[in-house]
Amino acid sequence: MSAASVAFEPAARVQRIKESPSSAAAARVRELKAQGRAILDLTVGEPDFDTPRNVKAAAITAIEAGQTKYTPVNGTVALREAIRERMLRTTGIRYEDSQITVGGGGKQVIYLTFTASLNEGDEVIIPAPYWVSYPDMVRANDGTPVILETRAEDRYKVTPEALRSAITPRTKWVVLNAPSNPTGVLYTRGELEALGDVLAEAPHVRVLTDEIYDEIVFGDERAVGLAEAAPAIRDRVLTINGVSKSYAMTGWRLGYAVGDPAVIKALNLLQSQTSSCPSSITQAAAVEALVGDQSFVAESVAVYRERRDRAVALLGAIDGLTPISPDGAFYLFVDCSGLIGRRTAEGKVLENDQDVTFFLLDVAGVAVIQGSAYGAAPFFRMSFATDLATIEASGEAIAKAVSQLQ
């Protein structure tokens, strides 16, 4: 008679993390839709556009040409050249092969960066509001996330004084994400120069700059990265980017990093023992995305700008809600502190931003994500990567639901 099986217990690194709130919200929306509820879903952080035709054609050509084999760990020669050309065009910085790596999406590259560099007790400074995955990625790799609060008067950006006070001898990385998910705010060149001056005083600290939304910018000025603005610390800046957001290629899974050859070497080593390389077909498509016709980017940004303006106007007109007008990306981060303490028709008091999001889902039929998931409360994040009709309907439904609060 065999002994009873011992129940599976996840490793400690898995138990330290939680499910992505955005994934959980999307799952809840799917459940409600399956029950027959009409839900206006503003949770998803991906473009509603199709991948550009020229990019899809490049993938088809690669398949028909038999480019379906393993590639080098750090990408095909053509992809590395495309990344080099793109970075030179947008930043003026030339990166050599030893400074380039690719992976299955920017998310994987960020995760592998922490795997490659963090030891137990190492600290990673993460400004809040932050993308939901940063803290859990750090925890999963034995690091300690240090959440750095930002202020409304600074447009939720890190100031030199706040950064200096957060750095300790155990700080390994600072994370900068701009345009930001969830706020959409962008740093100016002068602001980045000032942060660079602080970081120059701390040579043990590296900076991970997540620039995945850098093409989706609504003003006249382009996004400037830290590596460009602060050349004195460039060797400590790892720039993460990819094709998911700017080229509507979220499902293709291709991200890249450029920076210190020592860091890149470690990332390539990890990549060789995980997925070996990204899809060869995706790499061929990414080459076309990065160096081919760029008209899709300008056209889609113009549409996002129109949607942003309408969403800001609709939400800003609702008593109790104050949206942050984003400089880029496709999210509206909305201060809902004016709803906290108010009472629903059923007598329930809205005590926090999760209560607000449940209220909007149940009463308005609008799905958004609570700001506490991004380290900032009371807020909620809504995506405007959807059509204007959905944005209009959502604004009207939210306004009607809020008007019923006491």
- What residue spans define the domains of the chain? 12-50+296-403, 69-291
The answer to whether the CB of 208 falls within 8 A of the CB of 113 is yes
Write down the CATH number for the domain with range 12-50+296-403.
Answer: 3.90.1150.10
CA atoms within 13 A on the CB side of 358: 10
State the Cα–Cα distance between residues 26 and 41, nearest whole angstrom: 8
For 123, 284, 387, the CA distances from 360, given in Å and listed in that order, are 37, 42, 19
The answer regarding whether domain 69-291 maps to CATH 3.40.640.10 reads yes
pLDDT at 249: 98
**pLDDT tens, residue order, the chain (406 aa):** 566 789 999 998 889 888 777 677 777 788 888 888 889 999 988 999 999 999 999 999 999 999 999 999 999 999 999 999 999 999 999 999 999 999 999 999 999 999 999 999 999 999 999 999 999 999 999 999 999 999 999 999 999 999 999 999 999 999 999 999 999 999 999 999 999 999 999 999 999 999 999 999 999 989 999 999 999 999 999 999 999 999 999 999 999 999 999 999 999 999 999 999 999 999 999 999 999 999 999 999 999 999 999 999 999 999 999 999 999 999 999 999 999 999 999 999 999 999 999 999 999 999 999 999 999 999 999 999 999 999 999 999 999 999 999 9
Q: Let me know if the fold of 12-50+296-403 is the same as that of 69-291.
A: no
State the Cα–Cα distance between residues 10 and 318, nearest whole angstrom: 45
State the Cα–Cα distance between residues 260 and 19, nearest whole angstrom: 31
For the chain, the farthest-separated pair of C-alpha atoms sits apart, in whole angstroms, at: 75
Q: Look at the pTM and tell me if it is higher than 0.75.
A: yes
Query: The tokens 């106007």 sit on which residue?
Result: 313
The answer to whether the CB of 243 falls within 8 A of the CB of 249 is yes
pLDDT at 126: 98
Here the tokens at position 374 are 């991004």
- Residues contacting residue 316 through CB under 8 Å, at least 6 positions apart: 322, 323
Q: What are phi and psi of 191, to 5 degrees?
A: -65, -40
Here the tokens at position 308 are 């942003």
Q: Where are the alpha helices (DSSP H) in 234-375?
A: 261-272, 280-291, 295-316, 353-359
Which of 203, 214, 216, 204 lies closest to 176 in space, CA to CA?
214
Q: What is the DSSP letter of 329?
A: S
* Beta bridge mates, 322: 335
Q: What is the DSSP letter of 231?
A: G
Residue 10 burial class via C-beta count within 10 angstroms: exposed 0-12, middle 13-18, buried 19 and up: exposed
